[in-house]
Chains A and B, each alone.
Chain A
Amino acid sequence: MKTEDLKNSKEYKYGFTTDIENIRAPKGLNEDTIRFISKIKKEPKWMLDWRLKAYNRLKVLKEPNWQKPKYPKINYQDLYYYSAPKSSSEKPKSLDEIDPKILETYKKLGIPLVEQKRLNGIAVDAVFDSVSVATTFKGELTKKGIIFCSISEAIQKHPDLVKKYLGSVIPLSDHYFATLNSAVFTDGSFVYIPPNTKCPMELSTYFRINASETGQFERTLIIADKGSYVSYLEGCTAPMRDENQLHAANVELVALDDAEIKYSTVQNWYPGDENGVGGIYNFVTKRGACRGKNSKISWTQVETGSAITWKYPSCILQGDNSVGEFYSIAITNNFQKADTGTKMIHLGKNTKSKIISKGISAGNADNMYRGLVDISNKAINSRNYTQCDSLLMGNKCGAHTIPYIKNNNATSTIEHEATTTKINEEQLYYCNQRGLDQEEAVSLIVNGFCKEVLQQLPMEFAVEAQKLVAISLEGSVG
């Protein structure tokens, strides 16, 4: 790679800002802000009441402080909770009505919203700051009875489904950030797959933070009815800014009898600069309920961005024979910090869970795997397999593994394996001797280290994720 190419590729490619007129809620967290959000979204009263209930609950909750990465106190009264491009104050009815500037933004991000240019048949919902600006391939999905739309639209058009499932996996009062999200969430995606239906294409949501001083509080709800299957992928980017921006999302998944949900994340929020200035605080609650028998939920995450990543995509294995999986790659470079892992709660009989976590630290970064395997006394013959591997690059970074295991059942089997390795100078020399430069060698070795997780990603995204892994670590080895 030429020096110039290298220099360019090291910069955060998605750091640009779109200059667009916004409608914002007044600054600050209060009842008026919540009423403003609910009103602008033309929500029914039950939704507003739900939000206010969350807000009242929030007043008595305390922000958690047990995580490893510490951050300066967030002034919640100094944030905007709603920001939307003025041009989409009415949700556009067709793609032609979308502000060309927004279309241009997504084009720059490599997400074409024009349906003719099919992105390998992947349906996309695009969320820009606080609103969903476009959902593609709706017609094709509707024919099968699949609902894929923004959560705002679902609240209006499918209130029964939303009422039944919203908050059923992450309760209103779960914890500080989840409750904050319940009070002020702005948009996100909604998916419903009817019984015995295999969703014919990948569903994808692309989240973009554009406005400054804005928190993004997205809410996603996916329901896979009996015997159905869906694969869903989310991607995220944000402009480069000196301030830290908060992203506190809630994602709820519900899988009924014999249903399967595969949820993949490629998280590339702005990580801050090489001195640790700026970047996104990615404090996200993701939880899936395997409610039906023989159901399965599989989380795959590739976390390369954000100043701080703090999340534990989890599975509640209620149904007998249900399966939960968690595949994770967390890469931290420079001053990035991650405290991530999963929770596998075994309630049903013969439930199985598998955790594969790959943490990579470079520069001055700190990477933590924290996970819980909780086996109840009713979960007879349940199994868990956990593998946590950490790779260190250089000698200023850190890797930590904290597994919590609670077992209340003598018939269960739990396995835990963990390794920590430093990137091996001899391996690099071997690659160099075969003509690969340092960056290519690191990319090859790291992608090898992450392989078990990368191969879980839908094909269309695996290649992109491999490149992202390499780019995130550029310049981290002498």
Chain B
Amino acid sequence: MLNIKNLEATIDNKHILRGLNLNIKPGEVHAIMGPNGSGKSTLANILSGKNGYDIKGDINYNGMNLGELSTEERAQKGIFLAFQYPLEIPGVNTNIFLKTSLNAVRKSKGEKELDTLTFLKLIKEKASELGIDEKFLSRQLNVGFSGGEKKKNEILQMKLLQPKLSILDETDSGLDIDALRIVADGVNSYKNKDNAFLIITHYQRLLDYIKPDFIHVLSKGKIVKTGNADLGVELEKTGYSNLA
């Protein structure tokens, strides 16, 4: 699904990624861990198409050269980023945002756009699966939401848009244990053999709930170690300091 070869990235003369390789197949869950400043969020930003980076290397996504796709095309073709800091958009009703987004994705696939009634039925269903109160959907997008509510809203969007590759950028940070469980349940209930996850996190605790197939350690812009789920537990004890 995703094949990254020798990825280098620079922003404002800062060389952040220095030859990163990663291969993700459908049905897999990959976790990326690593110290602050190692380039984890940069990787998420580059995959989702954020502007401002100078990029070298190849990124192939389902047979397409990712560099040739605009941010919205990537989203329409199934790349989803759950933001570390979801943006507030004042005056825009959450329901309207979600409907506009879903219909943009549907339209790009040549599917019929959903009318308001059908959409509301669908979104209520998805929200109740995540234990999200309906009232929350008629509030302005992320405005005045608590950290946990914002993150839950990201997972709701993921379940609504049904992406192929979901990237979770520190979705667990700032969550209490209940919210963490809701987020994890959301991911686990969506996981299947056709989609894949790239989970960026600092801590093992999210990985107690979402079992990764691979854990990669990112340090100074490179993957320095790859292992299975046990690696996370080990890192929790030893820290990153004795890795290159």
Do A and B make up one complex? Answer: yes
A residues contacting B by CB (< 8 A) are: 424-427, 429-438, 440, 444-445, 447-452
Residues of chain A with a CB closer than 8 A to B22's CB? none
A437: chain B residues within 8 A (beta carbon): 70, 72, 104
B101→A436 contact, CB < 8 A:
yes
Give chain A nearest CB distance to B137 CB in angstroms.
Answer: 15
Q: Contact between A433 and B81 (Cβ–Cβ < 8 Å)?
A: yes
Which residue of the partner chain A has the closest CB to B76? A435
A445-B89 in contact given A434-B101, A440-B104 (Cβ < 8 Å): yes
Interchain nearest-CB distance for A109 vs B (Å): 27
Alpha-carbon separation in the docked complex, A429 to B91 (Å) = 18
CA distance A89 to B133 in the complex (A): 64
User: Do A430 and B87 form a contact, CB below 8 Å, given A436-B72, A445-B92?
Assistant: yes
Number of A-B contacts (CB under 8 A): 74
The winner among A435, A444, A450 for most chain B CB atoms within 10 A is A435
Q: Provide the bound-state CA to CA distance between A377 and B104, in Å.
A: 57
- Residues of chain A within 8 A (CB-CB) of B50 are 429
B97 interfacial contact with A, CB 8 Å = yes
> Which residues of B, 63-91, contact A by the 8 Å Cβ criterion?
70-72, 74-76, 80-81, 83, 86-87, 89-91
Q: In whole angstroms, what is the CA distance A444 to B80 when docked?
A: 20
B51 at the interface (CB under 8 A from A): yes
**When A430-B83, A435-B105 are in contact, do A440 and B91 touch as well, CB less than 8 Å?**
no
Q: Which residues of B contact A431 (CB under 8 A)?
A: 89, 101
Min Cβ gap A444→B in Å is 6
Chain B interface residue number, banded: 20 to 34
User: Given A427, A430, A432, A450, which contacts B70 in the complex, CB threshold below 8 Å?
Assistant: A432
B116 within 8 A of partner (CB)? no
For the complex with contacts A434-B75, A447-B92, 16 further pairs of A-B residues with Cβ separation under 8 Å are A425-B51, A426-B87, A429-B71, A431-B89, A431-B101, A433-B72, A434-B97, A434-B105, A434-B157, A435-B75, A435-B104, A440-B104, A444-B100, A445-B92, A447-B91, A448-B90
The docked-state distance in angstroms from the alpha carbon of A445 to that of B100 is 12
B232 at the binding interface (Cβ < 8 Å): no
Bound form: Cα–Cα A441–B89 in Å? 11
Query: Does B48 count as interface, using CB distance less than 8 angstroms?
Result: yes
Cross-chain contact A435 with B101 (CB below 8 angstroms): yes
| Contact of A444 with B104 in the complex, beta carbons under 8 Å | no
B108 at the interface (CB under 8 A from A): yes
- A429 to B44: give the CA distance in the assembly, Å: 13
Q: How far is the CB of B87 from chain A (nearest CB, A)?
A: 4
Tell me, rounded to whole Å, the shortest Cβ–Cβ distance linking B48 to chain A: 5
> With an 8 A cutoff between CB atoms, is B140 at the interface?
yes
- B91 CB contacts on chain A under 8 angstroms: 447-452
B212 within 8 A of A: no
Contacts of A452 in B (CB 8 A): 91
- The CA of A424 and the CA of B92, in the complex, are separated in Å by 14
Tell me whether B210 is interfacial, beta carbon within 8 Å: no
Report chain A residues within 8 Å CB of B140: 448
13 CB-based A-B contacts, threshold 8 Å? A424-B87, A430-B86, A430-B87, A432-B71, A433-B72, A433-B74, A435-B75, A435-B108, A437-B70, A438-B72, A444-B89, A444-B96, A451-B91
Q: How far is the CB of A129 from chain B (nearest CB, A)?
A: 38
Residues of B within 8 A of A450 (CB): 91
